[in-house]
Each structure stands twice: as structure tokens, then as C-alpha cells.
Amino acid sequence: MSLDARVKGAIDTLLKMFEEENLDKVTRAVFKGNDIPADNWSFLNRLIMYINGTDDARGFRQWQQVNRYVKKGSAAFYILAPMIVKFKDKETGEEQKIIQGFKAVPVFRIEDTDGEPV
């Protein structure tokens, strides 16, 4: 499936949620406090997580750190992470950071893992 098709699918799902007045997932994406790595994600990435039917998603190594392991054959879904570039300002000598773009990062739902309880 192409990136355009995945983006269109995510937008269509979001619009369908609003049309059906199923705002539970949107509400959960807005409010943090679940003590999971996704609390540090952007609103859009948390919304993508809830659209994919889970309350907890992490990268492969993040699951290993909590003694959970991705089941063989599980498919990841993707969130967008900023690519930050550091450089020194020639005039001030201060280190600056800018976002150069975004990259797709694969994450897995808790339902696609086995291991210790979280």
C-alpha cells in the first residue's frame, strides 16, 4: 500500500469518527496521563495509535525494555517523527536545532506483543 493510500485511509477513518460522533478516541488522544511512551507523542501520532485500535503502542526495542516481545508476523503501523538537525549559529556560536523533515517510524500495538504485564 502506498504512503498516499495510507494517509488517505487515516484521514477517511478520522472523518468517519467525526461523522458517527464517535469522539471517544479523539478525547483519549487529547488527554495524556497514561504513563506510557505515547504520552510524549504529538496529538496526531496518538490519534493514529487510537485509530489503529490500541491504547499503547511502542517501537520494537521499547517493547523489549519492558520484557514484552512482538509476535511473529505482526504488522507495524507508522507514526511520524521529526528529524532534528543541530548546527552552530555562525554569528552567536550558539547551538541551534531545526526540524528538517519527518520520517515514518514503525510501532506495534500492545495486542501484538507477548510477555510481562505492563
pLDDT mean across residues, the chain:
84
Dist CA 66 CA 118 (whole Å):
7
> Which of the residue ranges 35-44, 83-92, 105-114 has the most confident prediction, judged by mean pLDDT?
105-114
Note the pLDDT of residue 53. 85
Contacts of 64 (CB under 8 A, 6+ apart): none
Tell me: the pLDDT tens digits for 67-84?
Answer: 999 999 999 999 999 999
Domain-wise residue ranges, the chain = 3-115
Kindly state the helix (H) or strand (E) to which residue 18 belongs, with its residue range: helix 3-19
Would you say residue 55 has pLDDT above 70? yes
Give the N- to C-terminal CA distance of the chain in Å, as an integer: 32
Tell me which amino acid residue 116 is.
E
The model's pLDDT over 80-102, given as tens digits with 9 standing for 90+, comes to: 999 999 988 888 889 999 999 88
